[in-house]
Amino acid sequence: MSLQSKFFVLFNLIFSSLLFSQTGPGGVGITDGSSNLVLWLDANNVSVANGTLTNNWPDNSGYGHNFTDGNGAVFTTNSVNSYPSFSFNDTSNYFQHPFQSRLTPTSFTIFSASSVASSGSYKAVLSNRDDPSGSPTRGFILYSRPGSNNWSFWTGRDSGPWQTVEGNINTTANWSSQMMRYNGTTREKNLSINNNTFSTATHTMTSNTSRPFRVGAGRNESNTPNYYFNGNISEIIMFDNLINEAQIIIVQNYLAAKYNYSLSLSDVYNEDTPASGNYDHDVAGIGRVNSTNLHNDSQGTGIVRVLNPSNLNDSEFFMWGHDNGTFQMNTGLNAPEIIKSRLNRIWRVSEVNISGTTVDVGSIDMRFDLTGITGVNTANLRLLVDTDNDGIFDDETPISGATDLGSNTYSFTNVNSIQNNNRFTLGVAITTVITNKKITYRVNN
């Protein structure tokens, strides 16, 4: 192969790798409108003042499924763990999107993060339904039931009433996640609350073919909604396929860290507690349940991308999140002497199996999107890892060898120094320039 051909292949590998970075929730899916992530409503992407009633909830999936109809809901800043949410009043608040076939798939996986308040009525987190006169029912709904407030997943059918699978869990006044999954081939329907063991049923679903999609209310077949939600909703995530088991675990851990609640099973990210320092932010991960249920390339909402684990085995996960430190280089922070400035932001890693036991997924490649950071180049950029886990970087050996991938993205390959519970960050080193045989100048780049 000629040198020109080798360069072309290398360029395409780098370019395609950059292009398909997994930037969805927890690092699952892509946010450019090209993946199975077809809807992502995140209150953290809304920019209005606290207490504002707005009916504009933008979609972050890249497909442009913005919810801009309906009466809207009240935006509440710092609602949970420093993150905002929308408050729904049980009587009039809801968002709506016109009928869209991509939002009515035959198979899907849907997550929501909410805090429901008790009431004596059905409370719809989301509703994509049609209930025409006569016997047909169509579409799907996620309700909190009257009285018990237990979670319930409804699907319609050609003839007959709604068919349900019950969560049998009450999360009133507590933040929690709800996951609905429907397999259009096997007709299996799952509901999971806080990643507990799935409640399962086998039902044939008939899809809604004309009615709008609503968040915070139901009765979509009418211009007058009903079954208004009572409480707060922060996030709705929808894939138009069955994401695999490893991806489900990653998304569930991303949501649990962000909204400060515990998972019933597979709580593989353990850096989101006060004792660990509350590394709750931009959580993402890679992992493997088995050979057909794995996810080995992830970035999520943050700047760190991890890919190419050399020894990712069954039931193993590598997840990371940061402390919400400002994204800027500063001097005077704890760092080795050669480091002239260091990022305020620090990440921490969980490298465990499903049971929480420490594992080793092998070496990894790490990429950092440093858009907005100036004065960085491949000669002075250093990866700093707190290998002795004492919370400081002064006594650590900086890792050099960064590669510039373009677009302000820098890569460290075959990193094997990060272990379970370790912290890491980036620094800019003082570089040495030799101007003649007798004098050496240290230059701040």
User: pLDDT at position 5, please?
Assistant: 40
Judge if 282 and 395 occupy the same domain: yes
Pair (271, 336) in one structural domain: yes
- Give the residue ranges of the chain where pLDDT is below 50: 1-19, 440-441, 443-445
Residue 433 pLDDT: 55
Bridge partners of 40, per DSSP, are 237
User: Domain for residue 12, yes or no?
Assistant: no
CATH of the domain at 39: 2.60.120.200
Distance CA 335, CA 347 (A): 15
Rounded Cα gap, residues 252 and 242, in angstroms: 15
Q: Which of 318, 128, 295 is nearest to 221 (CA)?
A: 128
Give yes or no: residues 270 and 398 share one domain. yes
Residue 445's pLDDT is 44
| Amino acid 21: pLDDT | 80
Within-domain flag for 184 = yes
Residues 211 and 304 in one domain: no
For residues 269 and 324, state if they share a domain: yes
- In a domain, residue 201? The reply is yes
Question: Would 23 be classed as within a structural domain?
Answer: no
Asked whether residue 197 falls in the same domain as residue 155, the answer is: yes
CA 382 – CA 191 distance, rounded (Å): 45
Q: Which of 178, 204, 239 corresponds to the end of one domain?
A: 239
Q: Is 354 inside any structural domain?
A: yes
Name the phi and psi angles at 160, rounded to 5: 120, 170
Exposure b/e, 201-222, CB count within 10 A at least 16 = b: bebebbbbeebbbbbbbbbbbe
Q: Is 252 within the bounds of a domain? A: no
Residues 423 and 319 in one domain: yes
Closest CA to 208 of 108, 58, 87: 108
Asked which of 223, 239, 255 is the last residue of a domain, the reply is 239
In-domain check, residue 313: yes
Longest dimension (CA), the chain: 94
d(CA 253, CA 265): 10
Quick one: 179 exposed, middle or buried, by C-beta within 10 A (0-12, 13-18, 19+)?
A: buried
Q: How many domains does the chain have?
A: 2
280 in the same domain as 157: no
Give 420-438 pLDDT, tens digit per residue: 999 999 999 997 655 555 5
* Residue that finishes a domain, picked among 190, 223, 239: 239
Question: Which pLDDT tens digit goes with each residue over 337-382?
Answer: 999 999 999 999 999 999 999 999 999 999 999 999 999 999 999 9
Q: Look up the domain containing 353 and give its range.
A: 265-433
271 and 223 in a single domain? The answer is no
The answer on 271 and 234 residing in a single domain is: no
Residues 94 and 173 in one domain: yes
Task: Please report whether residue 130 resides in a domain.
Answer: yes
Whether residue 312 sits in one domain with residue 233: no
